[in-house]
Amino acid sequence: MKDTSPGTFRLSRRNLMKFGLSAGALGMVPAASTLAKTNNVRGRIVIVGAGAGGIALANRLARRLPLAEITLIDSRTAHTYQPGLTLVASGLWHPNDVMSQNNRWVPSSINWIQAQVSTFEPESKRVVLSNGQTLGYDFLVVATGLQVNYDHIEGFSHDMIGEHGIGCVYDSRDNAMKTNTMIDQWINKGSGKGIFTLAPTPIKCAGAPLKMAFTTLSRLENTGRRDQYDVHFYAPGNRVFGLDYYNDFVKQRWDDQGVTRHDFHKLVALDAPARKARFERTDGTVHETDYEFIHVVPPMSAPDPVRQSDLVWQDGPFAGNWLDVDQHTMQHNRYPEVFGLGDVIGAPVNKTAASVKMQTPVVEENLIAVMQGQALTASHNGYTSCPLITGIGKAMLVEFGYNGVMLPSFPFIDPKDESWAVWVMKEQMLKPAYYAMLDGRI
């Protein structure tokens, strides 16, 4: 992979200290709960989804509840470090850098069933699996992540990623790698139009589509022939980021970098072989354009088995699409023995691994409280964080919670400053922190 100096910085204790980014500052201190076993609590706990949230919670509960019967359900055996996918798609990481095996993380003391849940039956407290098995539970945690709805864009399917100039960073390691190939081909052609899009729904890591635009702009600028390339960004509304400061910052930067922005344009169809994209404007009119490269961000929702169950929000902005939980306690609003964790929940912000890190101890504490018949005491403040890459070698650390409240973790990092230190954090330090989270140790 490419050497993107100054990214050749290597992680070491000395370097961590130089940047003031000690293990404590990254939150890599042992969780208090990992020390305190709860020896008198029994019950059947089913966790659905062995991703970031499901595995982190399984590890914490396995330590806390030696007498509980914990089952984890997921057919997926390989684990993808998803925050690294933008770096793979930008040509900065080798695809293998984001892969590990789930059996490295899943605690041996729990029962891991390698199947999918096809039906949730919360009234009878059971789930039906893709292998035909039915499983009862006393307590359920839904940690299924989200589903990328490729078919909501006419003419598009995920096997088109890596062909006809189509990229998408939301699919898999292999398709992140192919996205990089598509960008390379566009750059090597020496000219042509590149299009970057946003989805009309909540998406995981809302900053990822912006990161893809910014790293590609760096690559185009590095050719010394930036003016040969025509770069466009299409958004379904008039914002590219939830917080005003960053929204204005990104738009201004793109204006300065010669990016043509199109607000109120939703991607509705692709004609891949002809390299044409169709956008629907808010007023119902249609805009069709050709491209050399397009980065597609499809609509997203909770996975179908969740959407089609009674567990889904019944009304409001998340109705029919996302899991119905209290955004602070993480407990289901209608089924008190059910909790939600991670991307699957309907809440105004979240959908990052950083949110999962903060939600997991809340679910742990409140689930144990319910098991003991006690009041819920833990509360999630909506914390999410995004190292917003603004070019290769620079980034801003955006940390906030519900109602747009800024929640900075590092007194020495100005959240409004672009810096190489934040880039290093994203590029080299978040992965060890993420793996420590999976292990249930932070």
Ligand X SMILES: Cc1cc2nc3c(=O)[nH]c(=O)nc-3n(C[C@H](O)[C@H](O)[C@H](O)COP(=O)(O)OP(=O)(O)OC[C@H]3O[C@@H](n4cnc5c(N)ncnc54)[C@H](O)[C@@H]3O)c2cc1C
User: Which positions touch ligand X (CB under 6 A)?
Assistant: 48-54, 73-74, 76, 82-83, 85-86, 116-117, 143-145, 169-170, 204-205, 208, 303, 305, 342-344, 351-354, 356, 386-387
Nearer to ligand X, 68 or 143 (CB): 143
Report angle CA 331, 364, 146 to the nearest 5 degrees: 60
The position carrying tokens 């984890």 is 72
Nearer to ligand X, 82 or 193 (CB): 82
Instruction: Find the shortest distance in angstroms from Cβ 65 to ligand X.
Output: 20
Nearer to ligand X, 54 or 165 (CB): 54
Nearer to ligand X, 275 or 437 (CB): 437
Instruction: Find the shortest distance in angstroms from Cβ 97 to ligand X.
Output: 14
Nearer to ligand X, 129 or 217 (CB): 129
Counted residue by residue, the chain has a size of 442
Instruction: Find the shortest distance in angstroms from Cβ 386 to ligand X.
Output: 6
Buried b (16+ CB within 10 A) or exposed e, 31-67: bebbeeebeebebebbbbbbbbbbbbbbbbbbbbbee
Instruction: Find the shortest distance in angstroms from Cβ 53 to ligand X.
Output: 3
Instruction: Find the shortest distance in angstroms from Cβ 345 to ligand X.
Output: 8
- Compute the half-sphere exposure of residue 15: CA atoms within 13 Å on the CB side of its CA: 12
Query: Which residue's CB atom is positioned nearest to ligand X?
Result: 51
Instruction: Find the shortest distance in angstroms from Cβ 78 to ligand X.
Output: 9
Is 12 strand, coil or helix?
coil
DSSP strand pairing (111-113 vs 69-73)? parallel
Q: Do residues 212 and 182 lie in contact, with contact meaning Cβ atoms separated by under 8 Å?
A: no
Q: Do residues 300 and 279 lie in contact, with contact meaning Cβ atoms separated by under 8 Å?
A: no
Nearer to ligand X, 54 or 95 (CB): 54
Instruction: Find the shortest distance in angstroms from Cβ 71 to ligand X.
Output: 11
- Compute the half-sphere exposure of residue 21: CA atoms within 13 Å on the CB side of its CA: 19
Instruction: Find the shortest distance in angstroms from Cβ 47 to ligand X.
Output: 9
Beta bridge partners of residue 229, listed in sequence order: 192
Distance CA 166, CA 210 (A): 16
Nearer to ligand X, 111 or 228 (CB): 111
Q: Could you please report the per-residue DSSP string of 163-198?
A: STTEE-TTS-HHHHHHHHHHHHHHHHHT-EEEEEE-
Instruction: Find the shortest distance in angstroms from Cβ 428 to ligand X.
Output: 13
Distance CA 155, CA 281 (A): 18
Q: How far apart are the first and last CA of the chain?
A: 31
Nearer to ligand X, 218 or 289 (CB): 218
Nearer to ligand X, 95 or 275 (CB): 95
Query: How many C-beta atoms lie closer than 10 Å to residue 322's C-beta?
Result: 27
